């Protein structure tokens, strides 16, 4: 299989943005004056004339060699197992109660990121902050005490990687971690695997903490919808409690609103419908809910780097761990496979062919294994 073709800015717009496939990961933004992330969209300010651009090379929604991406992160080809490459699966939570109460679930992400900075695994981390109108954006954090200020999940898609592109340029930033969704983890893997001249300081990327993700929402339409239900500037937390609740919750200081999940699904970015990855398979560690176990996370350790960090955090007493119940693991695998199957069906429906899988450039073996599922 020849490596997937890398094209330019105009083609990225034609192949991805204009087709509604943009995941808004932010990987193409902030590396040039042409593409910027603005209020829930990637905006092309002018036409670029470069024929092979990083914007295209990094995009997780154009022809992607999953094996090359996997090799760049794990030194091994793509693992088609339901939740990807796994070194260890655990149930974890932050040891400190104030971390847990400020975080989404168990606070594992915030705890290990703060710990990684404290211990010098990384010197800074790119997280996602949200403003008073729910608009999310990437932010560089250098002080471990600031990590918790950007905890909790904003279910609106965030162009977090634009902040990586921007901040990694700084000289004082040498080892940077990124917390991101599966599309972002894939884009970062593609940055590592990119054959183009490295102008992105990707060698500074020292840790990727992936978040489980079923889908993310479109900023503009969703916030307009939400503003009619509750004042945006008072929202302190979103949650999607496990089935059978089937609701989307927005918490304010004193109140909360529950919206039927089906109403919210209308605002899912179309790009999420073709995403195969629920558990951030290209991250060093991936973190999600531990369904039914309140205040805990599911943690998948994938890379050597990830294992080292988790072991150290546990030894330092920053996180508590437990075994993930089998039932939870099976359920997670089922959900992950479910997302993969739905995405493949959507892709094949879009292209009308088994040969054209939109952005997936797979070797024969991977392809037949994925399609067989």
Work out how close the CB of 353 gets to ligand FAD at its nearest, in angstroms, rounded to a whole number.
Answer: 29
Kindly indicate which of the ranges 46-54, 175-183, 205-213, 228-236 contains the residues binding another protein, using the contact rule CB under 8 A.
Answer: 46-54
Work out how close the CB of 153 gets to ligand FAD at its nearest, in angstroms, rounded to a whole number.
Answer: 3
CB 350 within 8 A of CB 274: yes
Distances from the Cα of 357 to the Cα of 20, 184, 340, 346, angstroms = 15, 20, 13, 10
User: Which residues between 173 and 192 bind another protein (CB under 8 A)?
Assistant: none
Chosen from ligand FAD, another protein, none, partner binding at 115 (C-beta under 5 to 8 Å by type): none
User: Please, which residue, 56 or 212, has the CB nearer to ligand FAD?
Assistant: 212
Chosen from another protein, ligand FAD, none, partner binding at 199 (C-beta under 5 to 8 Å by type): another protein
Work out how close the CB of 38 gets to another protein at its nearest, in angstroms, rounded to a whole number.
Answer: 5
Question: Comparing C-alpha atoms, which of 299, 294, 370 is closest to residue 329?
Answer: 299
CB 141 within 8 A of CB 150: yes
User: Please, which residue, 181 or 223, has the CB nearer to ligand FAD?
Assistant: 181
Chosen from ligand FAD, another protein, none, partner binding at 36 (C-beta under 5 to 8 Å by type): another protein
Of 1, 14, 49, 316, the residue at the interface with another protein (CB under 8 A) is: 49
Chosen from another protein, ligand FAD, none, partner binding at 150 (C-beta under 5 to 8 Å by type): ligand FAD
Coil, strand or helix: which one is 128? strand
Work out how close the CB of 16 gets to another protein at its nearest, in angstroms, rounded to a whole number.
Answer: 16
Q: In the chain, where do the E strands start and end?
A: 35-38, 41-44, 64-65, 88-94, 124-130, 136-141, 176-180, 205-211, 237-239, 247-251, 256-260, 285-289, 297-301, 319-322, 360-361
User: Please, which residue, 199 or 234, has the CB nearer to another protein?
Assistant: 199
CB 134 within 8 A of CB 226: yes
Residues in touch with ligand FAD (CB under 6 A): 103-110, 127-128, 136, 150-156, 158, 160, 179-181, 211-214, 216, 287-289, 297
What is d(CA 79, CA 279) in angstroms, rounded to the nearest whole number? 13
What is d(CA 116, CA 141) in angstroms, rounded to the nearest whole number? 12
Question: Comparing C-alpha atoms, which of 344, 277, 25 is closest to residue 164?
Answer: 25
Token couple for 346? 């959507």
Work out how close the CB of 99 gets to another protein at its nearest, in angstroms, rounded to a whole number.
Answer: 35
User: How is 198-215 classified by DSSP, letter by letter?
Assistant: --S-GGGEEEEEEE--S-
Chosen from another protein, ligand FAD, none, partner binding at 136 (C-beta under 5 to 8 Å by type): ligand FAD
- Which are the contacts of 174, defined by CB distance < 8 A and separation ≥ 6? 123, 204
CB 363 within 8 A of CB 1: yes
User: Please, which residue, 68 or 173, has the CB nearer to ligand FAD?
Assistant: 173
Of 19, 41, 166, 331, the residue at the interface with another protein (CB under 8 A) is: 41
Verify binding: residue 43, another protein, rule CB under 8 A.
yes
Verify binding: residue 36, another protein, rule CB under 8 A.
yes
Chosen from ligand FAD, another protein, none, partner binding at 181 (C-beta under 5 to 8 Å by type): ligand FAD
- Which are the contacts of 108, defined by CB distance < 8 A and separation ≥ 6? 92, 93, 94, 287, 297, 299, 319
> Residue number with the shortest CB distance to ligand FAD?
288
Q: Pattern of binders to another protein over 191-220, x per CB under 8 A?
A: -----xx-x---------------------
H helices of 141-212, in order, are: 160-167, 182-193
Chosen from another protein, ligand FAD, none, partner binding at 49 (C-beta under 5 to 8 Å by type): another protein
Q: Which residues bind another protein (CB under 8 A)?
A: 31-34, 36, 38-39, 41, 43-50, 52-54, 196-197, 199
């Amino acid at each position: 299989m020849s490596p997937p073709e890398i094209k330019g800015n105009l083609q990225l717009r034609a192949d991805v943005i204009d087709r509604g496939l943009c995941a808004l990961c932010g990987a193409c933004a902030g590396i040039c004056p042409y593409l910027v992330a603005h209020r829930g969209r990637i905006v092309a300010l002018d036409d670029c004339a470069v024929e092979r651009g990083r914007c295209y090379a990094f995009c997780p929604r154009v022809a992607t060699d999953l094996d090359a991406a996997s090799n760049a992160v794990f030194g091994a080809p793509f693992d088609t197992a339901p939740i990807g490459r796994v070194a260890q699966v655990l149930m974890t939570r932050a040891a400190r109660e104030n971390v847990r109460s400020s975080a989404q679930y168990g606070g594992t992400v915030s705890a290990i990121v703060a710990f990684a900075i404290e211990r010098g695994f990384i010197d800074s981390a790119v997280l996602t902050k949200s403003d008073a109108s729910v608009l999310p954006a990437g932010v560089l954090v250098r002080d471990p005490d600031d990590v918790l200020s950007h905890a909790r999940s904003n279910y609106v898609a965030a162009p977090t990687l634009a902040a990586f592109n921007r901040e990694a340029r700084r000289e004082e930033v040498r080892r940077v971690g990124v917390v991101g969704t599966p599309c972002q983890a894939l884009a970062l893997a593609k940055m590592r695997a990119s054959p183009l001249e490295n102008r992105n300081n990707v060698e500074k990327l020292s840790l990727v903490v992936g978040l489980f993700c079923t889908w993310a929402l479109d900023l503009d339409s969703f916030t307009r919808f939400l503003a009619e239900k509750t004042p945006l500037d008072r929202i302190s937390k979103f949650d999607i409690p496990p089935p059978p609740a089937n609701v989307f919750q927005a918490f304010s200081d004193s109140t909360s609103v529950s919206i039927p999940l089906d109403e919210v699904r209308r605002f899912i970015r179309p790009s999420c419908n073709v995403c195969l990855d629920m558990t951030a398979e290209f991250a060093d560690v991936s973190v999600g809910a531990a369904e039914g176990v309140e205040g805990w996370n599911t943690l998948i350790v994938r890379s050597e780097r990830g294992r080292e960090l988790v072991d150290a955090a546990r030894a330092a007493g920053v996180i508590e761990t437990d075994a993930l119940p089998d039932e939870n693991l099976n359920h997670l695998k089922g959900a992950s496979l479910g997302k993969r199957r739905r995405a493949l069906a959507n892709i094949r429906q879009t292209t009308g062919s088994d040969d054209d899988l939109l952005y997936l450039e797979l070797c024969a073996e991977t392809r037949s294994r994925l399609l067989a599922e």
